[in-house]
Structure 1
């Protein structure tokens, strides 16, 4: 389509490359922390929140030292939250949504009413699925999700009202329908791009988020109780994370401008789509696929050699990374990974995948040792949430295309809580400073330019 102007585009690209190169030394000279992280890997503080907190260090007389990772939702340990509903053999995602939005755990009556409210709101406008999803199928699920979220603006009678009551209504509706938007977008992709049979199954009011996801996604609508409970648990663990992650910060930045809910959430989706943020678990699964196709994984020495080649940029995508290892904040452990590891083990037993799980366990034990040998580390390295979540999703039969949208189905909860927090605190528009390092120059008339 653009073949005639490609040579010109190449020339402009070269000009662009020469115009926007800033030396890394300049960041040190001006004391600017790239990625808003200081030289020790600590995030630069940009705000206050009551929604969640990450703890990866403890204060001692000798300074901060790494500790076992902890994650708190509204001050409550996520380990305790998960242990509570898991031991009682019930689902926990809706309870977690309530906690993150309203800063308290619901009692049984409050939780029941809240679940019924979400079920009531789990519906799309008339003809929306046909007109906005089936008539405009796409190949990228996150783009479909962003597009359909923006389209919902046109169906809202009060789309620009940023009062707490209206934003809460919008957020509850988005939390309710995100599973439908993700699954229906995937079904349209399968039918219109891959030629498979099309089926659109309505959600059932008596089912929660995780059960409805599996019910709508699978052609027979069936799933085991363990499958649904583990998916529900994964949604709980992905619902929120500290406020400083890229997509949540995006939500704060865009919300601070006074824009509508649909635009703010679409912006967050654009952030989450990035492979450095929401797509990491896909990389983990594909890395293991490459490993299993390349070597005999029953030979642990061969696995160790493969991991070494990953770090030496000689295997898989040659990026020098062992995907799923390490986190920007956690050092000794990621509590979400610890919990998901137990879930992965239970699911592996049900699915007959014990051998693959054992391989993941070996890599989880060996990779930190090899990374410590190869890299200069300022903190420890351990498996992160993406290490086991991809394995779990694959054992659940979920397609790669839905891995990141499933992240969004969960994280819409945290985005909603942070959007409401930003609005209620009536903060200023977020506008950080950039230092210009380009020297001044004089304007040259056009007839004298070369």
Structure 2
């Protein structure tokens, strides 16, 4: 047999086709179904983007109204299920709690094993809606408060804010959260999306696929990176310490969190959009210290890293935005999941429309063969 070429980290391996998103990493561009992310962030809503991903087209006004109504009807979770969330240890990472909660939703869904396309679609809509409810309930319970019932009069973003914080957001806060959800909704064949498809390809239920995706997103090299950025800001402490801190990290060849991306060799377009909103937040709500630290880190690190094609990614400024919205650092990644559930389910539906071929890669064997077994009393 010919010598197998190993693609470390599956770098460059193409196993399927998709229409959902296109990333032009060299020029820093991102498209959902061909629409530039800048236009969607400015003019669309998370509900419309979710429809776009699931249906592969923008809705009419009537179609969007029906879709929004379906999302609203799926928001509530049975009281007994929410009560079980209270038993989760508060020392556990919120992503671990979210992973367990979504598994519970599947456990009590009588249609869990129905993998028909129609059932997958209905469960996808339900999961998009319930991810926000579950995440908010977990946060409230960890803080010693009772979960808040969804408000059917509010948009997805506004209702999520309300369930998190117990008060309705201002129009600016609603837009801010809506934009953040849009920017995180989809991003190609990343680790968590691939994980979801790997499980789905076995003909397992959609809950198993999504639980696996949550587990992948939990990792600090994927969704957890945004937490690390805020920890970096806290470690630096004050703007005047930022340049020296960066210089020390670079001199020791240590990584600057939130800088660099596997795909982008130019500035991540999502980071550009979030930076704009982070600046608005900094001026309006007193997060100026965090924002100033990040801008100095970006400038100082950029002197060395930009020529290497390393720029801020979406995680770099998202923490300041989330912090202003009353979201604790440990909940940054669950909020990411509240957005990315749209992309995960859209990819599952797209793969289901194809042949849903079982993913079965190979590994190059480098061990010994025909080794002789030695009885345990002779070892």
Give yes or no for TM over 0.5.
yes
Find the partner of 1:291 among 236, 244, 249: 236
- Tell me, yes or no, if structure 1 residue 210 matches structure 2 residue 163: no
- Tell me, yes or no, if structure 1 residue 404 matches structure 2 residue 333: yes
Report what 2:85 is aligned to.
133
Find the partner of 2:277 among 330, 336, 343: 343
Larger Rg: 1
Looking at structure 1, the residues matched to 357 and 169 of structure 2 have their Cα atoms a distance apart, in angstroms, of 47
Correspondence 1:4-403 to 2 at 5 A: 31-37=5-11, 43-57=12-26, 67=27, 69-85=28-44, 92-130=45-83, 132-138=84-90, 139-191=92-144, 198-219=145-166, 221-242=167-188, 244-292=189-237, 297-298=239-240, 302-313=241-252, 320-371=254-305, 377=308, 380-403=309-332
Structure 2: 5+ residue stretches without partners: none
Looking at structure 1, the residues matched to 214 and 71 of structure 2 have their Cα atoms a distance apart, in angstroms, of 21
Looking at structure 2, the residues matched to 209 and 190 of structure 1 have their Cα atoms a distance apart, in angstroms, of 22
1:263-304, Cα deviation, whole Å (9 max, x unpaired): 110000000001100111111111011111xxx523xxx532
Looking at structure 2, the residues matched to 217 and 440 of structure 1 have their Cα atoms a distance apart, in angstroms, of 57
More displaced 10-residue stretch of structure 1: 181-190 or 402-411: 181-190
SS of residue matched to 1:127: helix
SS of residue matched to 2:265: coil
Find the partner of 2:345 among 411, 416, 420: 416
> RMSD in angstroms over aligned alpha carbons?
1.8
Bigger RCO (CA 8 Å, 6+ sep): 2
Cα 1:134–1:443, aligned 2, differ >3 Å: closer, same or farther? Answer: same
Q: 1:135: how far off? A: 3.4
1:135-157, Cα deviation, whole Å (9 max, x unpaired): 34442211111111111123222
1:302-343, Cα deviation, whole Å (9 max, x unpaired): 532210211234xxxxx8111111111111211100111111
Looking at structure 1, the residues matched to 376 and 361 of structure 2 have their Cα atoms a distance apart, in angstroms, of 39
Residues paired across the two proteins, number: 376
Q: Structure 2-normalised TM-score?
A: 0.94
Looking at structure 1, the residues matched to 72 and 23 of structure 2 have their Cα atoms a distance apart, in angstroms, of 31
Looking at structure 1, the residues matched to 113 and 373 of structure 2 have their Cα atoms a distance apart, in angstroms, of 46
Cα 1:402–1:303, aligned 2, differ >3 Å: closer, same or farther? Answer: closer
SS of residue matched to 1:53: strand
Q: 1:238: how far off? A: 0.2
Q: 1:444: how far off? A: 2.5
Question: Is the contact between residue 305 and residue 311 of structure 2 (CA under 8 Å) also seen in structure 1?
Answer: no
Cα 1:442–1:80, aligned 2, differ >3 Å: closer, same or farther? Answer: same
Q: 1:232: how far off? A: 0.8
